[in-house]
A and B are shown apart, each in its own frame.
Chain A
Amino acid sequence: MMIQWDAETVIKMAAYAGAGLCMGLGAIGAALGEGYTAGQANEAVSRKPELSGEVFKTMLVGQAMAESAAIFALVVAMLLLFVNFPTHSWLFAMSSLSAGLCMGLGAFGSSIGSGFPAGAACQGTTHQPAMGGRLMTTMLIGSAVCQTPAIFAMVVSFILLFSNFSAQPFNPAWAALLGAGLATGFAAIGPGIGGGLVARAACDGVARNPERAGPVTNIMLLGQAVSQTTAIYGVLISFVLIFRNNEATTLIAPSAALLAAGLCMGFGAFGPGLGLGVVAQNAVKWISRSEAGTGDITRLMLVGMAVTESTGIYALVISLLLIFVV
């Protein structure tokens, strides 16, 4: 019996593959983030068993926050599985697969990142039981900001799922759509994890030196905001790839350039996003310990972040060249 390779069959296949990748990748991140939190909670309870109730409470709330990105992935996966999209364009197969990949990769980093502050808050609860409320607030704000790259990924996934691309020529639009999903998806991983590292350092800092909670939270937010700029580059390239008018061609080179642009921005944002998080993590750590050096440390952090970010900007420039010049 021959398999019928009509547009509807291929679209369904791509949607199922996209749904599987989306939920699978999202679940890996959530499991790692929640597992890290539980591991830290175990360590904290073994140190002070009398505080197990407080630690479990912090762990439960932290895990609930870390699960948010996986719920985004669940929503996109369910849409891919059960919505009958009114299109028979072959391009829709590519946009479905791309949407699934984008959301799965986007949820991966944010879920891992959200687990870090939750774990640190569990540990901090045993160091400073009286500061449990303040610690929980820092953890929740840090965790919520970690979800931003996953929200970017969800927005791009929705655009890929609900836009009508039937007027676009199949070649090279298939590569532009796939590149768009990969750009935001990969670009979200580094900033998601990097933001988590910053929030973990802030929770450690608040537990170590509660009087410094105010400046520590402010620098955490600044560090997280800067570390997420590379995820915005990914979204920018995705938007250019999705909304650009492509001319029909029989050549494979223009398609390769568009796909490469997405990959370049995705990988190019991954490293700086993580690196920016490491810079801010150390700045927050030392600001929590030294009041005198706060100004100098903040300036040094911003200069260090500017230099770290330069490789992300190179990737952005090369991606734009691949889209508009090559």
Chain B
Amino acid sequence: MEQIQVICRRYGRAAAFSALFAAAVCLLFGAAPLARGIVLGALFSIINFILMGRGLPVRVTGDRRRVVLKALSSLFFRYVFMAIPLYLGLTRESINVFAVAGGLFSIQMVILADHAVVGPLFAARKRRI
């Protein structure tokens, strides 16, 4: 399961840096609620991804009934967990709810960017060298 920890760390770090960069740009333009929303959404997205990764070894061990129960409860727990930043965004004016929603996809965006943009770019550079 070491590979899962490596991938969680790698994408988690990239998502955190991307969110902080986007938040800094928003702050430069004076959009503090947007910045807070992006950071909050990204934070919950990263924790959700880590929970998915950490939960894998727990979910695949034990008898079948227990595995199904663990998988379902993990799914339910993670959805409730992901609803927390959205609730904060909807109830507080200092946090933009649409930025929170965008931040919740930061892990997916980082994974896509890594494979569809960064990977091919590095491969092309390697071929040139």
Interface residues of A (CB under 8 A from B): 23, 27, 30-31, 34-35, 38, 42, 53-54, 56-57, 59-61, 63-65, 68, 70-71, 74-75, 78-79, 82-83, 133, 136-137, 140-141, 144
Contacts of A30 in B (CB 8 A): 75
Q: Is the CB of B3 within 8 A of A140?
A: no
Q: Is the CB of B1 within 8 A of A53?
A: yes
Contacts of B8 in A (CB 8 A): 60
B52: Cβ under 8 A from any A Cβ: yes
Q: Is the CB of A64 within 8 A of B7?
A: no
Q: Which DSSP category, helix, strand, loop or mixed, fits chain B's interface?
A: helix
Report the Cα distance A291→B8, complex, angstroms: 38
Q: Is the CB of B83 within 8 A of A78?
A: yes
List the A residue with the shortest CB-CB distance to B97: A79
Contacts of B116 in A (CB 8 A): 137, 140-141, 144
Q: Is the CB of B49 within 8 A of A64?
A: yes
B82: Cβ under 8 A from any A Cβ: yes
16 CB contacts below 8 A, A to B, read: A23-B79, A27-B79, A34-B75, A38-B71, A42-B60, A53-B2, A53-B3, A60-B53, A68-B108, A71-B101, A74-B79, A78-B86, A78-B87, A82-B90, A136-B115, A141-B116
Report the Cα distance A54→B116, complex, angstroms: 19
Q: Is the CB of B7 within 8 A of A61?
A: yes
Contacts of B60 in A (CB 8 A): 42
Report the Cα distance A64→B75, complex, angstroms: 12
B94: Cβ under 8 A from any A Cβ: no
Contacts of B1 in A (CB 8 A): 53, 56
Q: Which of B110-129 contact A (CB under 8 A)?
A: 111-112, 115-116, 119-120
Interface residues of B (CB under 8 A from A): 1-4, 7-8, 49, 52-53, 56, 60, 71-72, 75, 79, 82-83, 86-87, 90-91, 97, 101, 104-105, 107-108, 111-112, 115-116, 119-120
Within the complex, the shortest CB–CB distance from A22 to chain B, in Å, comes to 12
Pairs of residues from A and B, 6 with the lowest C-beta to C-beta distance, nearest first:
A53-B3, A82-B90, A78-B86, A137-B115, A75-B101, A140-B115
Report the Cα distance A91→B91, complex, angstroms: 25
Evaluate whether A65 and B79 lie within 8 angstroms (CB atoms) in the complex, with A53-B4, A54-B3, A136-B115 already known. no
Name the one of B2, B52, B75 contacting A31, with C-beta atoms under 8 angstroms.
B75
Contacts of A75 in B (CB 8 A): 86, 101, 104
Known: A61-B111, A82-B87. 15 other contacts (CB 8 A): A53-B1, A53-B3, A59-B56, A60-B8, A64-B107, A65-B111, A68-B108, A71-B82, A74-B86, A79-B90, A133-B119, A137-B115, A137-B119, A140-B111, A144-B116
Report the Cα distance A141→B108, complex, angstroms: 11
Within the complex, the shortest CB–CB distance from A225 to chain B, in Å, comes to 16
Contacts of B112 in A (CB 8 A): 140, 144
Within the complex, the shortest CB–CB distance from A50 to chain B, in Å, comes to 13
Report the Cα distance A63→B8, complex, angstroms: 13
Report the Cα distance A140→B49, complex, angstroms: 16
Within the complex, the shortest CB–CB distance from A39 to chain B, in Å, comes to 11
Contacts of B52 in A (CB 8 A): 60, 63-64
Report the Cα distance A23→B7, complex, angstroms: 29
Evaluate whether A56 and B56 lie within 8 angstroms (CB atoms) in the complex, with A65-B108, A71-B104, A78-B83 already known. yes
Contacts of B72 in A (CB 8 A): 31
Contacts of B111 in A (CB 8 A): 61, 64-65, 140
List the A residue with the shortest CB-CB distance to B59: A38
Q: Is the CB of A60 within 8 A of B86?
A: no
Contacts of B53 in A (CB 8 A): 60
Report the Cα distance A243→B79, complex, angstroms: 34
Q: Is the CB of A57 within 8 A of B3?
A: yes
Name the one of B2, B3, B49, B83 contacting A74, with C-beta atoms under 8 angstroms.
B83
Report the Cα distance A137→B123, complex, angstroms: 13
Report the Cα distance A68→B107, complex, angstroms: 10
List the B residue with the shortest CB-CB distance to A68: B108
Within the complex, the shortest CB–CB distance from A64 to chain B, in Å, comes to 6
Within the complex, the shortest CB–CB distance from A170 to chain B, in Å, comes to 28
List the B residue with the shortest CB-CB distance to A30: B75
Evaluate whether A56 and B3 lie within 8 angstroms (CB atoms) in the complex, with A64-B49, A136-B115, A140-B112 already known. yes
